Amino acid sequence: MAKTKTTFFCQNCGAQSPKWLGKCSSCGEWNTYVEEVVQKEEVGRGSWKQGGTKEKRASVPKRLQEINFEDQPRLITHDAELDRVLGGGIVAGSLVLIGGEPGIGKSTLMLQIALMLNQTKILYVSGEESESQIKMRAERMPLKSENCYVLSETNTQAIFQQIEALDPDILVIDSIQTLHSKHVESAAGSVSQVRECTAELMKFAKETGTPVFLVGHITKDGAIAGPKVLEHMVDTVLQFEGDRHLTYRILRTSKNRFGSTHELGIYEMRAEGLRPVANPSEILLTQREELLNGVAIGAMMEGNRPLLIEIQSLVSPATYGTPQRSSTGHDAKRLNMLLAVLEKRGGMRLGQQDVFLNVAGGLRVDDPALDLAVCASLISSYEDTPVPADLCFAGEVGLGGEIRAVHRIENRIAEAEKLGFKRIMVSKYAVKGMDIHKYKIKVIQVSKLEEMYQGLFS
């Protein structure tokens, strides 16, 4: 009988070592090495077919000019948010990984897509729920499909047997951490199992041209559980974000080989499922009956989509000596920079003030075009004077107090006009060569923070 071979794998990055190490030499994490059983490479391993891989002619190099590129049509899901995030639809043979916190709605989203594509044969494989549990969730949705098949199984060899018999057009795996392959003797969810199962599914997707969706768990730090190589193997990585106690969910792209990584999809969680939000600017703006201090509206871009979001600030005297600086949904370092600019260039005494900044709607933003709105919100709270309700902002603030131009200003102005704003304050360098008179909204051009301050309170 052959001796069992074991080796040590880092649970964070997937690095391999013949002996246990306290600190991983690849990622620098401590106490992440776990011993796992491995075995020698054998014929048929890594293949999704039970009989092993077929012999095929070796690939030969080709000139780049000789390669014929055919634009393959994408499968439209009729979910505008998912189609936008994927780059226009589902690509044949693509491997898509969706990660998110427990209870955020990953399984609901995948089941909803499976029911929505009623003309496409879809196999939904669940390793976490029974078939009756999936049926109960499907009954709450208003969608019906005769081509949605459900399989409760965790063994990859048994799953591929059913795939060969059914021949689905789309495969959904929920989740990749629950699968296990007979080629690896370690437990399900380990580095070896996740890597091996993903390799088999990737081989199946590329050989057959079948799109595969993988649902993945995340760690307490927010990263997708398993080795980092998992994110390198797949074509697209989507992050499903949001607070379980709030109604809105955000689908964000962190990697996409078939489209942009700056797109954003917004859903509203309801009892009957997830509803795509066509115009997120309306839900991100609070309906206020009266003007409030410290509130300003900023125009930002997420990919090709313009969004108007509400920035809320609270500036109050520090009670406990050391002033607090807190931001939710906004970069704390950038907030500190803007506070320093306001104190140095604007003459505001913020050294002994507590500052709290919040982006309404639960969004996490990093567009520098929101700098002007953040400064206006801070000034409004500091001066205890509200910003006019018909005014919004789009501009980057430099260290010298200058208002810098931002890209795609036409889209931002058009979005503000569509939502009923009467005025928008932008950098005068952003509208050079533009015909601003074609807009019904009044475009206010400023170049310094002093001009913005005078425009607000003069």
313: pLDDT strictly greater than 70: yes
312: pLDDT strictly greater than 90: yes
> By percentage, how much of the chain surpasses pLDDT 90?
47
Segment 287-300 shows an average pLDDT of 84
Please report how the helices 371-383 and 449-457 are oriented relative to each other, as an axis angle in degrees rounded to 10.
Answer: 50
51: pLDDT strictly greater than 60: no
Please tell me which of 166-175, 227-236, 314-323 the model is most confident about, judged by mean pLDDT.
Answer: 166-175
Segment 203-232 shows an average pLDDT of 83
Query: Sign (positive/negative) of CA torsion 106, 206, 230, 226?
Result: positive
Segment 344-362 shows an average pLDDT of 88
pTM equals 0.72
User: How far apart, in whole angstroms, are the C-alpha atoms of residue 27 and residue 21?
Assistant: 12
Please tell me which of 210-214, 243-247, 364-368, 451-455 the model is most confident about, judged by mean pLDDT.
Answer: 210-214
Is 103 assigned to a binding site?
yes
Segment 172-183 shows an average pLDDT of 90
pLDDT tens per residue, range 389-409: 899 999 999 999 999 999 989
Is 105 assigned to a binding site?
yes
Q: Sorting pLDDT into bands at 50, 70 and 90, what band is 55? A: very low
Summary mean pLDDT of the chain: 86
Is 101 assigned to a binding site?
yes
Output the six-digit token pair for 58: 């070796």
Q: Sorting pLDDT into bands at 50, 70 and 90, what band is 435? A: confident
Residue for token digits 């089941």?
Answer: 111
Q: What is the pLDDT of residue 304?
A: 76
pLDDT tens per residue, range 375-385: 999 999 999 99
Among candidate residues 404, 341, 399, 419, the one with its CA nearest the CA of residue 367:
404
Segment 237-244 shows an average pLDDT of 83
Q: What is the pLDDT of residue 41?
A: 44
Q: What is the pLDDT of residue 39?
A: 57
User: How far apart, in whole angstroms, are the C-alpha atoms of residue 205 and residue 190?
Assistant: 22
Is 100 assigned to a binding site?
yes
Q: Is the model more confident about 291 or about 75?
A: 75
Domains and CATH numbers, the chain: 5-38 (no CATH), 75-278 (3.40.50.300), 283-457 (3.30.230.10)
Is 104 assigned to a binding site?
yes
Q: Sorting pLDDT into bands at 50, 70 and 90, what band is 322? A: confident
Segment 126-154 shows an average pLDDT of 92
The CB-side HSE value for 12 (13 A sphere, CA atoms) comes to 14
Is 182 assigned to a binding site?
no
Q: How many CB atoms lie within 10 A of CB 1?
A: 3
